[in-house]
Homo-oligomer: A and B are copies of this chain.
Amino acid sequence: MIIRYAARAGYASVMPRITDARRAARRIHILRAAIRCVTRSGFQGMTMGDVIAESGLSAGAVYGYFGSKNELLAAVADHNFAGLVGIVARAAGEGDPPAPADVLEAMIAGLLEVAVTEDGDLTIVAVQIWGQAVLGGDIQDLMSPRIHLVLDQLTGLARRWQQAGFVAPDADPESVARVFLALVPGFMLQRLVIGEQSAADFSAGLRALTAARAASQ
C-alpha cells in the first residue's frame, strides 16, 4: 500500500514536469510567432488570426495559452521587464557602484545584446507595448508596477551613488532613478528611428555631462 502510494506520488511528480516542459515550449513557440507578427504589423495591426497562422498551430491550441492579444502582449512585456531587471542588476553590481555613465553603458550594452532575436527586434515590440500602455487599460495596469520595480532598483543604486559621491547627497534618489530610467526608452527610439549608436557612444554623452564639473573645478 505504501509502495503503491509512493509509486503514484512519483508518477504524479514526474509526469506533470514533462507536460510543463512541453507546455512551456509551446507557449514560447506562440510568443515567438507573436513577436514576428508585432514587428511586422504593429500590435494594433496584428490579429489573433495572424498569430495562429504564423504559429502553424490550431486556433484551439493557441487560445489554450493566450485568450487575447492583450494576454500575448502582457507575456512579452513580462519577459522584457524580467530581462531589464536582470540587465540593471548586472550593470549596477554590488558594493561600490560603477559611475552613472558606466552603469548606463553596461545597461545599453546588455539591452543591445538581447534586443535583436531571430524573430524580430524586441525593442520594436516594446514601443508597441508603450503605444498600448498610454491608452490606459490592461497594459497600463501591467506596465505600471513593473516600471516601479525597475525604479525601485535604480533608486537603490542612486542611494549607493550618493554614498560614493556620484550624486548630490541632498537629492531625492527617486528623481535620479527616474532620469536614469528615462534614458532607456529614449535610446531605444533613437536607435530604431535614426539609427544604431553604440553603448559606448551613447553613454559618453552622460559621462561628458557628469564629469565636466569635476574636470573644470
Contact = CB atoms under 8 A, between A and B. Distances in A.
Given A194-B147, A215-B168, A185 B179 contact: no
Contact of A197 (B42, B178, B186, B194): B178
Query: How many copies of the polypeptide does the oligomer hold?
Result: 2
A45 B42 contact: no
Contact of A209 (B130, B151, B176, B190): B176
Contact of A177 (B158, B205, B211): B205
Contacts of A85: none
A92 to B, nearest CB: 15
Interface string A187-211: 1011011100100011111111111
Contacts of A41: 135
How many interface residues does chain A have, given as a range? 35 or more
A209 B183 CA distance: 13
Nearest to A166: B212
B208 A210 contact: no
A177 B186 CA distance: 12
A2 B179 CA distance: 66
A15 interface: no
A186 B181 contact: yes
Contacts of A158: 208
Contact of A147 (B39, B133, B193, B213): B193
Contact of A182 (B43, B123, B186): B186
B165 A212 contact: yes
Closest 3 CB pairs of A and B: A182-B186, A44-B44, A171-B208
